[in-house]
Chains A and B, each alone.
Chain A
Amino acid sequence: MTILLIYIAIFIGAFLVVKFITSRLEQRHDFTSLKTVTFGDESAVTANRTASVISIVAIFLIWGAFTGSKLTPIHAPGPYQGKGQFDYVVEGPDGQRDTASVFWQVEDKKGAAEDLEIAEGDGFALNDAINIIKYRSGQLRWDGNDAVSRKDGARIVEVDGQATDFDPNQRDADGNLVQDRPRFRIDNGSVTMTDKGALLITPYQGWQMEPIWLPSPEAVWSRIVEIASEGYQNNTLLQHLGWSLFRVVAGFFFGALIGIPLGYAMGLSDWFRGWFDPIVEFMRPVPPLALIPLVIIWAGIGEVGKVILLFLAALWIMTIAARAGVSGVNITKVHAAYSLGASRWQIMRHVIVPNSLPEIFTGARVAMGVCWGTVVAAELVAAEKGAGMMIMVASKFQLTDIVIMGIILIGIIGYGIDILMRRAERWLVPWKGRS
């Protein structure tokens, strides 16, 4: 929630700053800048590239700030890392009271810091010392070194001046606590009591994320470098990604190889359309992910199964795109070609195929996106190599940095595929949307 508010604040703040700066700069006088009505005029809205850059920077800043990254200048408050102390008052079974102190310190991991050296103090309750691991709580059996113990009926009645009448020995017939467990505020942390009356010390946790939830950007980056050179699960990073890409390309290739001629046949022949319409219309809404179990049963988790799955994912999309491409041919073009002396085959080759290319390209872009999503999902379920398999295995070992690395790489590759398809489209069908 806090992060969302910060994000909105950055969004608005950056908008105001950029607007202020650009208003000070020289006014441009292209056609759009002279329009007085821009609200509601979609053609006057282009992506503000400054906003795009700031957007990406903001995501990394927030990511860094909440993970204690060294790359970001500002950080969210981190977990308390020093030492602390608080007093507590014990009431013995005889009703006498004695005060003792607890000295605690936070250590990075178990055994990283030396035990605190403390004076024992006096009375029947003696002082205690405890090391607490960062981001964790420490449970203190305060009576371990005392003359009285909880078993004898001794209990804590006050922590850091905050009194409590909590008595862990008061139980109902089922053995459940009768009272709520108290919570005390101490400097740089809080203290609660366990069911059995021990102290549970929780140092201030801060707003940062533990690496196990979200590693810092540089940790992810160093993981990328490490896995790129050393590999993960018997394959290098390039092999993992390469295998995923290979499956997508192979599945898409076969899907297009069958789907496009099938779509043409459905667009040109009533028998083909009648025959395949029920099949295509039935298979189209079935998500490819739902086919994963069946494909694994039939073809196993190897390459054949993956390629079959992606083939099925691409097939229907390409069929429908090709069919739409044929239906979209303006009849006057066909008439014109006939009266210019073209044969059926020439009309197919010179009119129908080129005229359906824009639709087929749109379908190919969709199909590539679906295939890429499906291959990752299929690898998450079962695979020996691939981008999805990498993050699935890493998540089992709680290697969050590899999981995030995988997600980022999957996103970049998916985006890259779409950009390449758009480039190819502009190069091969420049007339798209301009007739």
Chain B
Amino acid sequence: MSGLVLDAISMRFDLPNGDHVQALKNVSLDIKTGELMSVLGPSGCGKTTLLNIIAGFLAPTEGAVTLNGHLVTGPHQERGMVFQKGALFEWMNVRENVAFGPRMNGVPKSESAGKVDHLLEVVGLHDFKEKAIYELSGGMQQRVALARCLANEPDVILMDEPLGALDALTREKMQGLVLKLWKETGKTIILITHSVEEALLLGERLIVMAPRPGRIHKEYNLPFAEMGVGADLREVKHHAEYALTREEILNMIWDMEEEIMGRTEGAA
């Protein structure tokens, strides 16, 4: 059995005051190898929890995650992760950051050097490989994070709002880069985002999650990621179906937020 399988994942933890939080309830997903999946939802819908479970940082209270047939029990280099920010090592330069994974796994420098150089070329940072991390802009730092993740050749790349801290223009450029990397490497990518536009562009498959308890609300299969590869993303956005789907999802999330607000107001 290949691909990533989430089998009836539930996540429930106790609070100090005796209450408990049902962060996820009965989430099942079957993600094929090479699939680009984006996860969208209002805050508190458990999408980061879900990603942390897949990464192996959290153990679900019920259900199991399997990758290519074996059970996920903890973090492993087969599942690479790209964080929003702050995950790069400031005490290493760009090249050392990218070479970190191979080095940890005992790959000799002579073997990894070529790959690191190639990846830096791909993300457009070849001229910056000896720079310190704090000398780079936010967008460049995320390029380093992408390259660092790819250097380990993971089967699955998990992205936790990787472009959330970037300005709009840089973000758009980076979206193009993610699409390009997805197409070139053929990796399975799961991307969490707050932005509906980004979820539409960077998801062959789009999951909308609902809060309280966190669950899958709706699923889409979209053509925009395929269209966006190598193309102008702004043109994709002019597509009629893009605008329709965007409105539909925005309304969906809007209603969810309204419902949360109403519920808390009713409680108060």
A binds B: yes
A residues bordering B, Cβ < 8 Å? 330, 332-333, 335-343, 346, 350-351, 354-355, 357, 429-431, 434-435
Q: Which residues of B contact A332 (CB under 8 A)?
A: 83-87
User: Would you call A354 and B89 a contact (CB within 8 A)?
Assistant: yes
* Contact A336 B81, CB 8 Å, known A430-B132, A435-B90: yes
B56, B85, B100, B158: the one contacting A340 at CB < 8 Å is B100
A347 and chain B: residue at smallest CB distance: B104
State which of A335, A342, A346, A354 has its C-beta within 8 Å of the C-beta of B87.
Answer: A335
A431 and B133 contacting across the interface, CB-CB below 8 Å: yes
Instruction: Flag if B91 contacts A339 (CB, 8 Å).
Output: no
Contacts of B75 in A (CB 8 A): 335, 338-339
B79-118 contact mask (Cβ, 8 Å, vs A): 1 or 0: 1110111111111000000001100110000000000000
Shortest Cβ distance from residue B48 to the other chain A in the assembled complex, whole angstroms: 12
Residues of A contacting B79 in the complex (Cβ-Cβ under 8 angstroms): 339
A/B interface sample: 18 pairs, CB < 8 A: A332-B86, A333-B89, A335-B87, A337-B104, A338-B57, A339-B55, A339-B56, A339-B76, A339-B77, A340-B80, A340-B104, A340-B149, A341-B77, A351-B89, A354-B89, A355-B89, A431-B91, A435-B86
> Is B152's CB within 8 Å of the partner chain A?
yes
CB < 8 Å neighbour of B104 from A341, A431, A434: A341
Apart from A339-B55, A343-B104, A431-B132, 20 more pairs, CB < 8 Å: A332-B84, A332-B85, A332-B86, A335-B55, A335-B83, A336-B148, A337-B100, A338-B56, A338-B74, A338-B75, A339-B75, A339-B154, A340-B100, A340-B148, A340-B152, A341-B77, A342-B100, A351-B89, A355-B91, A435-B90
B105 to chain A, nearest CB (A): 5
CA distance A354 to B101 in the complex (A): 17
* B80 / chain A contacts, CB cutoff of 8 Å: 339-340
Is B134 located at the chain interface by the 8 A CB criterion?
A: yes
A336 and B74 alpha carbons, distance in the complex (Å): 13
Q: Are B100 and A333 in contact (CB under 8 A)?
A: no
Given contacts A332-B86, A341-B105, contact A434 B134 (CB under 8 A): yes
Please, how many angstroms separate the alpha-carbon atoms of A332 and B55 in the complex? 12
Residues of A within 8 A of B158 (CB): 339
Ranked nearest first, the 3 interchain pairs of A and B with the lowest CB-CB distance are A341-B77, A431-B90, A338-B75
> What residue in chain A is nearest B145 (Cβ atoms)?
A336
User: In the assembly, what is the distance between CA of A430 and CA of B134, in Å?
Assistant: 10
Distance between A247 CB and nearest chain B CB, rounded to angstroms: 33
Known contacts being A351-B89, A354-B91, is A341 close to B134, with CB within 8 Å? no
Indicate if the CB atoms of B132 and A341 lie closer than 8 Å.
no
The total of interchain contacts (Cβ-Cβ below 8 angstroms) comes to: 78
**Is A350 in contact with B89, judged by CB distance below 8 angstroms?**
yes
Give the interface of B toward A (CB within 8 A): 55-57, 74-77, 79-81, 83-91, 100-101, 104-105, 132-134, 148-149, 152, 154, 158
- Minimum CB distance partner of A434 in chain B: B134
Give bound CA distance, A337 to B105, whole Å. Answer: 11
Give the residue name and chain of the A residue nearest to B75 (CB): A338
Q: How far is the CA of A357 from the CA of B92 in the complex (A)?
A: 13
Task: Report chain A residues within 8 Å CB of B105.
Answer: 341
Cα of A192 to Cα of B104 in the assembled complex, Å = 90
Q: Is the CB of A434 within 8 A of B87?
A: no
A435 touches B134 (CB 8 A): yes
Report the minimal beta-carbon distance from A348 to chain B, rounded to whole angstroms.
Answer: 12
* Distance A385 CA – B84 CA, assembled complex (angstroms): 58
Nearest chain B CB to A426 CB, angstrom units: 13
List, in ascending order, chain A residues with CB within 8 A of B148's CB.
336, 340
A336 to B87, CA, bound (A): 6
Closest residue on chain B to residue A354 by CB atoms: B91
**Contact call A340/B77, Cβ cutoff below 8 A:** yes
Nearest CB of chain A from residue B260's CB, rounded to whole Å: 27
Nearest Cβ distance between residue B162 and chain A, in whole angstroms? 12
Cβ of B85: which chain A residues have Cβ within 8 Å of it?
Answer: 332
Which residue in A335, A354, A435 is a CB contact (below 8 Å) of B57?
A335
In the complex, residue of chain B having the shortest beta-carbon distance to the beta carbon of A338: B75
Nearest CB of chain B from residue A228's CB, rounded to whole Å:
43
- A346–B106 Cα gap in the complex (Å)? 11
A336 & B91 in contact (Cβ 8 Å cutoff): no
Q: A339-B79, A340-B148, A431-B134 are in contact. Are A333 and B104 (CB under 8 A)?
A: no
Query: A330, A338, A343, A354: which has the most chain B beta carbons within 10 Å?
Result: A338
Q: Which residues of B contact A435 (CB under 8 A)?
A: 86, 90, 133-134
- Chain A residues near B83 (CB-CB < 8 A): 332, 335-336
Q: How far is the CA of A429 from the CA of B91 in the complex (A)?
A: 7
Q: Are B91 and A335 in contact (CB under 8 A)?
A: no
B134 (CB) vs chain A CBs: closest residue: A434
Cβ contact within 8 Å between A341 and B152: yes
Q: How far is the CA of A429 from the CA of B134 in the complex (A)?
A: 12
In the assembly, what is the distance between CA of A330 and CA of B87, in Å? 8
Residues of chain A lying within 8 A (CB to CB) of residue B100: 337, 340, 342, 350
Contacting residues, chain B, for A340 (C-beta < 8 A):
77, 80, 100-101, 104, 148-149, 152
B91: chain A residues within 8 A (beta carbon):
354-355, 357, 429, 431
**Bound-complex Cα distance A332 to B90 (A):** 13
**Which residues from A are CB-within-8-Å of B154?**
339
Is B104 a contact of A346 with CB atoms below 8 Å?
A: yes
